[in-house]
Amino acid sequence: MATIEELRERYEGLELRARVDTEAAIDAACLMVFDYEYAGRDAEVVIDTDEFTAVCPWTGLPDQGTLRISYVPANSCIELKSLKFYLLSYRNVGIVQEHAANRILDDLAACCRPVRMSVFLDYNVRGGLHTAVTAGYEAS
């Protein structure tokens, strides 16, 4: 079994069709929140988009899919325009699908500190393979 670093080395000499940025290009600093005026109420917020895009870290080929974020706010809610800019920062980032779902969850949970949150990332079929990843968070 190869590590991610070993796979990067194997593909390093290939000509990539797309620019591949590192995860450092992900802009979690742009995320903003606003006060949730109904703290203590178990209301679920669901946000989805069918336009999530990143790239394969080894080949530069696009990975596209549907992203669904579901959370119960504690004291703050995610401001949607800032979320759009955050998600756009993944556009040229080389990140494996399993890591993308967990990175999004970590950044959003750190931003709004929800009661609980889940991120479901359902990628379009590519090369005959379908991948869907669910990551979850619950406040302790």
CATH label of the domain that carries residue 31 = 3.30.1130.10
Would you say 60 and 138 are in contact if contact means Cβ atoms under 8 Å apart?
no
**Average pLDDT estimate for 31-40:** 96
Q: Select which of 27, 30, 42, 63 is catalytic.
A: 63
Q: How far apart, in whole angstroms, are the C-alpha atoms of residue 3 and residue 128?
A: 23
- For residue 25, the 8-state DSSP code is G
- For residue 58, the 8-state DSSP code is T
Is 48 among the residues known to form the active site?
Answer: no
Instruction: Tally the domains of the chain.
Output: 1
Is 77 among the residues known to form the active site?
Answer: no
* Range(s) of the domain holding residue 101: 4-138
Which pTM was predicted? 0.87
Cα 122 versus chain centre, distance? 11
Q: Select which of 21, 56, 77, 122 is catalytic.
A: 56
State the DSSP H helix or E strand holding residue 88, giving kind and residue range, or none if neither: helix 80-88
- At 139 the pLDDT is 92
Please state, rounded to an integer, the average pLDDT across all residues of the chain: 92
Residue 16 has pLDDT above 60, yes or no: no
Q: For 64, list phi and psi in degrees, rounded to 5.
A: -125, 150
- At 14 the pLDDT is 63
